[in-house]
Structure 1
């Protein structure tokens, strides 16, 4: 790992995803992952304290200042971070989105890989000073079952689903998919909410629940810990069936003034990002090792198993806009506050 390329790699034991421990991860990791990195401002997740000696973005050398969260939305960046070109940028890792928001608002960061609806919220919060450059992660939510009853969404009728994210994007996604399949989320199913993904996993392990909705990489960890547990439904697939577009988890948001300062340099960064995403999907072993090195996931073995299911992409242009507009509309209809109170205008979409 080229440590000089990371200004402040914030390590926290609470963010460790363990394949062996029944407890899985601690509360901070759970609050990030259980919202599948999609809740508004990470649903105000528990912040991870930075190391006292960590450099702050305002002390960075020249170069695009890019922030990432510990989770799927940043897995696609690690190959760029490790490359020779990565020396041209200042990458900073954070444990929670609420650490990134004020820095972007104040202009102390230029870009960040964040939950998609947080990008929409930032657009409203900054009066249009930010835009979305690309989609970097599609859906990471899955319905798991300890059994073989659930083969379709219709099979969830009369069942209890244990999950996280009440009042945040996971709830909106689940309710939308259920309702579009003719099920009333309030009467045809029972949705039991837990505060974090480890609590969900504990209920499944104890036999208190047989059906759960979890995000990656918790899904991979859960499958290794509970005998008979299987993926029953991929919520990305189910969303696409009813919405006609892809379910979006994460994006890269950038300040417009940073792009305008050097448009060619930003395009060069995006080209490097695209190559990094391609490497993340083709060199699983190498990418997994980097995910561990940079503290995004504690164990490379877990990252290597989870990467193919994390739906890491590099999507820009009209396809990016189509997927995001459809996604935001569902969230807005459920709760306008989830996208900052209003749908983003056309100038939110970079290059469209």
Structure 2
């Protein structure tokens, strides 16, 4: 009997011990789960390369270039101003650049070549102006004159020819078009008096107006485009594209970046002096005076792809008819644009 009582006692004690241990184990497990729930999951580390051509595209994000706003400790961003369009294209195709402001026709061409990007917004709405050394009263007055320009077969040439034709001037018969290597060659030649009539982009135009007293802006080609294309304020010369990988897998960052980019553009017009200082300091091809005095003529305005799409399509149609190779030879589909 005594043995039986001892066995029962030991068995009861073991059961209690086991129950106590089980309770402690459960409490410990619950504590670990609660601790894990309280501890936030670490964000994935991402590295992003942002690039823009010199001129108005870089200016559109000059505050971001200089101040480098934070998108979180897990995001590392590098900014670069690129001079050569060919260099920009090769970097985009190779995946070296994740976000870029590029000529809209280049974005279309790269898309048709398989580049895995989407157009997210348009931000530069034309920077081309016809400048002369005396006033003219009408387009007819251009007949027989020499017009110096740049970009044979490219956007500046296509826009000029389109506007001339729309105003009754045959660009191959009524005027003599002369092509120079670029704005860095064209602007000094006009300033020196070697040329009396030219199509000049900003910011080079402002440098001319600052250095040649008799220079007169004859035509704003953006306004002429709008007049010939009723319902469109201008043509989207440059747009922001972002890699599909970022859009699909880092959408929170993409949305934050777009908000910052739009804010950076708004900031420009309230801080043009500081923007000019940033431009000089970063050596992105614009002097402070050109930024301060020429900002309005650079036509920098943020429009999300959903807003800009009709203007982009109208622009691409004109380029497709004039020079199919500049836009990849065919029209764009809806996958080209990022949905809002």
Q: Give the TM-score range, shorter chain.
A: 0.7 to 0.9
Further displaced range: 84-93 or 322-331: 84-93
Q: Please, what TM-score do these two structures have when normalized by structure 2?
A: 0.80
Question: In the aligned structure 1, how far is the partner of 2:187 from the partner of 2:58?
Answer: 24
Q: Which residue does the alignment assign to 2:186?
A: 200
Determine which of 303, 315, 327 is the counterpart of 1:339. Answer: 327
Structure with max Cα Rg: 2
Flag structure 1 segments of 5+ consecutive residues without an equivalent: 1-60
Structure 1 window deviating more from structure 2 (188-197 vs 260-269): it is 188-197
Aligned twin of 1:137 = 124
Q: What is aligned with 1:67?
A: 51
* Structure 2: distance between partners of 1:234 and 1:193: 19
TM-score, structure 1 normalization: 0.77
Confirm whether residue 308 of structure 1 aligns to residue 296 of structure 2. yes
- Contiguous gaps of at least 5 residues in structure 2: 1-44
Q: Is structure 2 residue 305 aligned with structure 1 residue 317?
A: yes
Considering only aligned residues, what root-mean-square deviation do their CA atoms show, in Å?
Answer: 2.0
After TM superposition, give the deviation of residue 263 of structure 1 in Å: 1.2
Q: Secondary structure at the match of 1:269?
A: helix
Residues 166-315 of structure 1 correspond to what in structure 2 (within 5 A)? Answer: 166-205=152-191, 207-244=193-230, 245=232, 246-315=234-303
CA distance in 1 between partners of 2:316 and 2:53 (Å): 21
In 2, the alpha carbon distance for the partners of 1:71 and 1:328 equals: 22
**CA shift in 2, pair 1:297/1:198, >3 Å:** closer
Q: Deviations over 1:313-342 (max 9, x none)?
A: 111133311111111111110111000122
Q: Is the 8 A contact 2:130 2:199 kept in 1?
A: yes
- Alignment partner, residue 94 of structure 2: 106
SS at 1:85 equivalent: coil
Write the distance in 1 (CA, Å) between the matches of 2:64 and 2:194.
43
Other structure's SS at 2:219 match: strand
CA distance in 2, matches of 1:180, 1:319: 26
* Aligned counterparts of 1:294 and 1:330: Cα–Cα separation in 2: 36
Please list the CA deviations of residues 67-98 of structure 1 after superposition, one character each: whole Å capped at 9, or x if unmatched.
Answer: 12221111011112334624643212322122
The answer to whether the Cα contact below 8 Å between 2:55 and 2:286 also exists between their aligned partners in 1 is no
- Would you say the 8 A contact 2:119–2:305 is kept in 1? no
Q: Structure 1 CA distance, aligned partners of 2:54 and 2:252?
A: 28
* Aligned CA distance change for structure 1 residues 203 and 64 (closer, same or farther; 3 Å): closer
CA distance in 1, matches of 2:285, 2:108: 26
